[in-house]
Amino acid sequence: MFGATQLPMVVAVTTIGTEAGKLDSGAAAALVGAGMLSVLLFPLIALRLRGETAPTARPGVRAESW
Give the separation between CA 36 and CA 47, rounded to whole angstroms.
Answer: 18
Give the separation between CA 46 and CA 27, rounded to whole angstroms.
Answer: 28
Per-residue model confidence (pLDDT) at position 40: 86
For the stretch 5-52, pLDDT in tens is: 678 899 999 999 999 999 999 999 999 999 999 888 888 888 888 886
Give the separation between CA 43 and CA 46, rounded to whole angstroms.
Answer: 5
Per-residue model confidence (pLDDT) at position 6: 79
Per-residue model confidence (pLDDT) at position 43: 83
Give the separation between CA 49 and CA 57, rounded to whole angstroms.
Answer: 19
Per-residue model confidence (pLDDT) at position 53: 53
